[in-house]
Amino acid sequence: MPPVETSAEERVFAALASPVRREVLRLLRDAGPQSVNELASHFAMARPSFSEQLRVLREAGLVSEARAGRQRLYRLEGAALYEVQEWLNPFERFWREKLTGLRDLLDSLDGDES
């Protein structure tokens, strides 16, 4: 049998399966882009191990890295998360969209407020 390619979706879910990596995403969400040092300070973990966690997140497209002076800043990437939500619960999104449509419709109905 040919080897199975790791799909983008599998990489995202594998990345999210780790509590450490989910916490990194939460930190980036709450405090915005941060350097590796700032992120690493939240974890009692040797630097090479922490770098490995970041690598997994990067390869999954959940975070990106950019140089800022001598630092490397990590930021959360929304698009991959969006796919996760859609995959995990397409109906939640379905209903949110429908409810937005309902709100717009009600706003457009005139006059008959009682």
Partner 1 sequence: MTDDDLTAVRVDQFLAHPPVKVWRALTEPELIAQWLMPGDFRLEVGHRYTMQAKAMPGTGFSGAIQAEVLAFECERMLRIGWRDADPDNPNGADWTITWTLKSEGRGTRLFLAHEGFDPDNPLQQRARTLMGGGWRSIVMHRLDEVLRDLEPR
- Residues 47 and 32: beta-carbon distance below 8 Å: no
| Torsion sign (Cα): 68, 25, 96, 103 | negative
Contact between 114 and partner 1 (CB under 8 A)? yes
Closest CB to partner 1 among residues 55, 103: 103
Give the chain's length: 114
Task: Please identify which residue in 45, 46, 66, 99 interacts with partner 1, judged by CB under 8 A.
Answer: 99
Cα 67 from Cα 56, distance rounded (Å): 18
Q: Is 72 exposed, middle or buried (0-12, 13-18, 19+ CB in 10 A)?
A: middle
Residue span binding partner 1 (CB under 8 A) among the ranges 38-46, 48-56, 66-74, 76-84: 76-84
CB of 77 to partner 1, least distance (A): 9
Residue span binding partner 1 (CB under 8 A) among the ranges 42-50, 53-61, 66-74, 87-95: 87-95
Query: How many helices (DSSP H) and strands (DSSP E) are in the chain?
Result: 6, 3
**Chain positions contacting partner 1, by CB under 8 A:** 13-14, 16-17, 22, 26, 29, 76, 78, 81-82, 84-85, 87-92, 94-96, 98-107, 109, 112-114
